[in-house]
Structure 1
Amino acid sequence: MNSQPASTELVERVRNTLALTGAKPTPAHVAAALRADGTVCGDAMVLAVVTALRREALGAGPLDILLAEPGVTDILVNGPDEVYLDRGHGLERALVRTGDDSAIRRLATRLAAAAGRRLDDSTPYVDVRLPDGTRFHAILAPVAAPGTCLSLRVPSRHVFTLDDLVAAGALPPAGTPILRDLLESRLAFLISGGTGTGKTTLLNSLLSLADPSERLVLVEDASELRPDHPHVVRLEARPPNVEGAGEISLRDLVRQALRMRPDRLVVGEVRGAEVVDLLTALNTGHEGGCGTIHANSASDVPARLEALGALAGQPRDAIHSQVASALDAVIHLTRGDDGTRRISEIRTFTRHPNGQVSTTPAVDFHPDNTITLHPPASRFTHHRPDQVGAA
């Protein structure tokens, strides 16, 4: 009995035959299509073709096998048969055949349609969340080269605890009580870092430590946060439809969240004009708010906030004034050359006599698992230095 996987060419021929007759990809219909094609094969090959066709119709096609692998965080397709994945230690080539660009395009179009979005030559890119929570982005050729490109960000299958982060080398053991103290002090904070540094993972971990009596209202562009907490309300933005109507922005949702009695207002990623509404909320009695932000370093966060505020037409002095009153700390994450994600430091916000805001080092986390405490850490550190292992 033939046990080889079905070739792309064979699957394509059977697909075309079934399309002409309107038959479903059942074993009987596939076997009949193979016979009509003059192909001689056994039961195993028939089942392999059926599986391939059903994956194309229902799942993520040839990428399903990668999505099912434990530990995979990202899957990237750069045109025909060029697939990379990230298991948390950097990108590696995956030996998966995707077929030609037409096959990738069909897969991208179907996944976009499943999320209620249009993907074609008039709208050659899409960014959506799939039903299983996977973040899916596609951009079609010839806009993308060497072919249609897909990017899938796979949600974590479980919420990491701080102990898990310690075990993974992302946090020194002595850092656990510091992060707990920061959260319990109900300070407003941002988690900064580059793409793929683990900002959402850390925010999930911290929100899971919030008092069970607190009501968490999460505002996100695409729902990724899944804190292990009994009282969570999620608000998700919606892009405009093909007619350009129906958009619900993050800014709209932040305003709505304020009317929902949040004990903690959380913006999954601060990336635009919604920063003004978030800062306003944190300045009007909504303690303990938090979110993530892209920044190269913790010291760059004030400038990043200033740039985002400019998108909402806010002058520089107004944004710095808001930041000084609204935010207490920023936790910065980095990713090493070996792909290891690590919490590198915590800084507090300091306002200078000229009204401008900068960040001041409060806690440094070193790769050798030691930490250094600076005076601003006393704002949220309730443990003695010897208890947290200060260097």
Structure 2
Amino acid sequence: MGVVITGQLAPEGALSAGALDEVREWLAARGREVTPTHVAEALRAAGAPVGDATVLAVHDRLRQDVLGAGPLEPLLRLPGVTDVLVNGADEVWIDRGSGLERAQVRFADDAAVRRLAQRLAAAGGRRVDDATPFCDVRLPDGTRFHAVLAPTARPGTVVSLRVGRARAFSLDGLVAAGALPAAGAVVLKDLVASRAAYLVSGGTGTGKTTVLSALLSTVPDPERLVLVEDASELRPDHPHVVGLEARPPNAEGAGEITLRTLVRQALRMRPDRLVVGEVRGAEVVDMLAALNTGHAGGCATVHANSAADVPARLEALALAAGLGRAAVHSQVAAAIDAVVHVGRGTDGLRRVQEVAVPVRGADGLVAMRTAVELTPSDVHRGPGWPLLARRLGLSA
């Protein structure tokens, strides 16, 4: 898979990393563009071989240094790729939906990875250097970019690229992909149609955003979706979508726009459905308040290992924002109608695994009760089904 990138640039012989740097510096010092003609001049000046194959190979390498994602570009264009991960110069991994695979691509050295990280950060309007050796930003094409420079990271500079989908999966598409049984798609469509408030939970990389986009694509066309996200990843197939994206502080520590601020702004924008791309901080307080004050049909994603862990996760986030434990559980019990949990199976495939409903105990604390458990081919009703059926207006 991919192309092995090494110091061996041409059949005619090897060009050392030092010689390649000389070519790069020669071009930069004279303000020359990276063209085959200019590369040939630089090679002659450096006393390096100037055969056609060597010139073209050096030209391609230098172009990779200044355009796109360099040697990672072919991987980003592979069908179904969601993540491209670089662990130093010698390890590149991809995820195409069935777990991580080692790609046959490598960099000449860590300096090449560092240059790529700095260039991609600059493309997103950020800076990454020894003073600030990490960066998290959305690139102009929608790709989510994160990097940590060596020696903070080992075995070298680490780069993570999360590829956004140009078009959302539909629920039918999830069924066709084996992520959801047909009967489960019916339950989820009823959940959205009933204007229930729900969370999509799961671990990192389990497909929460994909599932939420598919659910939002079933919202009736006349309704207005207002999306609040840390990084713009949701792509519902819907005619009326307004997106608000958070912004980190700049290098001087100014200009930050938090999710909590954007949730408050979204409430003034007449949303039919308030959507928080991922609840991860103090914005949970405003989201719960909104769902308790007439904003039906709201939804969000949240990191959790299981549906049963969602109340504890929301409690931890809300407590950090200053909301007491009793108030958190009271808000959750009144605001959330269901949790849709997604995860990876033992085969590495991402699937919708469960729909659960919140139940408040005698102690006032909320626990989740399984309403339906989803297998690759069927749906099995659990003890929480009567509660979910009642909320959806179905027969128990």
Q: How does the TM-score come out when normalised to structure 1?
A: 0.94
Q: Which residue of 2 aligns with 1:379?
A: 390
Choose which of 23, 33, 44 in structure 1 pairs with 2:32.
Answer: 23
Separation in structure 1 between the aligned mates of residue 254 and residue 212 of structure 2, nearest angstrom: 32
Deviates more, 1:2-11 or 1:79-88: 2-11
Q: Which residue of 2 aligns with 1:203?
A: 212
Choose which of 250, 274, 287 in structure 2 pairs with 1:278.
Answer: 287
Deviates more, 1:199-208 or 1:239-248: 239-248
Deviates more, 1:160-169 or 1:313-322: 160-169
Aligned to 2:300, the other structure's residue is in SS state strand
Q: Which residue of 2 aligns with 1:123?
A: 132
Separation in structure 2 between the aligned mates of residue 204 and residue 246 of structure 1, nearest angstrom: 29
Separation in structure 2 between the aligned mates of residue 306 and residue 157 of structure 1, nearest angstrom: 34
Q: How does 1:270-349 map to 2 (within 5 A)?
A: 270-349=279-358
Would you say the 8 A contact 2:389–2:395 is kept in 1? no
Please give the per-residue CA displacement for 1:152-196, whole angstroms capped at 9, x wherever unaligned: 111123211111111111111111111100000000000000011
Deviates more, 1:291-300 or 1:9-18: 9-18
Q: Which residue of 1 aligns with 2:232?
A: 223
Which letter does structure 2 place at the counterpart of 1:366? T
Separation in structure 2 between the aligned mates of residue 261 and residue 6 of structure 1, nearest angstrom: 63
Would you say the 8 A contact 2:372–2:379 is kept in 1? no
Q: Does 1:191 align with 2:200?
A: yes
Q: Does 1:149 align with 2:158?
A: yes
Separation in structure 2 between the aligned mates of residue 4 and residue 303 of structure 1, nearest angstrom: 63
Separation in structure 2 between the aligned mates of residue 145 and residue 371 of structure 1, nearest angstrom: 45
Would you say the 8 A contact 1:348–1:360 is kept in 2? yes
Would you say the 8 A contact 2:221–2:238 is kept in 1? yes
Where does structure 2 lack aligned partners over 5 or more consecutive residues? Answer: 1-9
Quote the offset at 1:53 in angstroms. Answer: 1.7
Separation in structure 1 between the aligned mates of residue 13 and residue 237 of structure 2, nearest angstrom: 41
Aligned to 1:269, the other structure's residue is in SS state strand
Which letter does structure 2 place at the counterpart of 1:378? A
Q: Which residue of 2 aligns with 1:90?
A: 99
Separation in structure 2 between the aligned mates of residue 312 and residue 87 of structure 1, nearest angstrom: 37
Which letter does structure 1 place at the counterpart of 2:358? F
Separation in structure 2 between the aligned mates of residue 46 and residue 354 of structure 1, nearest angstrom: 75
Where does structure 1 lack aligned partners over 5 or more consecutive residues? Answer: 386-391
Separation in structure 2 between the aligned mates of residue 242 and residue 149 of structure 1, nearest angstrom: 21
Aligned to 1:24, the other structure's residue is in SS state coil
Would you say the 8 A contact 1:74–1:153 is kept in 2? yes
Question: For this pair of structures, how many residues does the alignment match?
Answer: 384
Quote the offset at 1:380 in angstroms. Answer: 4.5
Separation in structure 2 between the aligned mates of residue 8 and residue 189 of structure 1, nearest angstrom: 57
Choose which of 124, 131, 146 in structure 2 pairs with 1:137.
Answer: 146
Aligned to 2:212, the other structure's residue is in SS state helix
Please give the per-residue CA displacement for 1:120-178, whole angstroms capped at 9, x wherever unaligned: 11111111001111111000111111111011111123211111111111111111111
Quote the offset at 1:325 in angstroms. Answer: 0.9
Q: Percent identity?
A: 64
Would you say the 8 A contact 1:175–1:371 is kept in 2? no
Aligned to 1:12, the other structure's residue is in SS state helix
Quote the offset at 1:8 in angstroms. Answer: 7.2
Aligned to 2:279, the other structure's residue is in SS state coil
Would you say the 8 A contact 1:61–1:107 is kept in 2? yes
Which letter does structure 2 place at the counterpart of 1:330? V
Separation in structure 2 between the aligned mates of residue 274 and residue 6 of structure 1, nearest angstrom: 55
> CA 1:13 to 1:331, structure 2 compared with 1: closer, same or farther past 3 Å?
same
> CA 1:226 to 1:11, structure 2 compared with 1: closer, same or farther past 3 Å?
farther
Would you say the 8 A contact 1:8–1:99 is kept in 2? no
Would you say the 8 A contact 2:338–2:388 is kept in 1? no
Would you say the 8 A contact 1:6–1:49 is kept in 2? no
Q: How does the TM-score come out when normalised to structure 2?
A: 0.92
Which letter does structure 2 place at the counterpart of 1:240? P
Separation in structure 2 between the aligned mates of residue 353 and residue 363 of structure 1, nearest angstrom: 24
Which letter does structure 1 place at the counterpart of 2:168? V
Aligned to 1:174, the other structure's residue is in SS state helix
> CA 1:50 to 1:299, structure 2 compared with 1: closer, same or farther past 3 Å?
same
Separation in structure 1 between the aligned mates of residue 360 and residue 270 of structure 2, nearest angstrom: 30
> CA 1:259 to 1:4, structure 2 compared with 1: closer, same or farther past 3 Å?
farther
Separation in structure 2 between the aligned mates of residue 304 and residue 15 of structure 1, nearest angstrom: 50
Would you say the 8 A contact 1:306–1:320 is kept in 2? yes
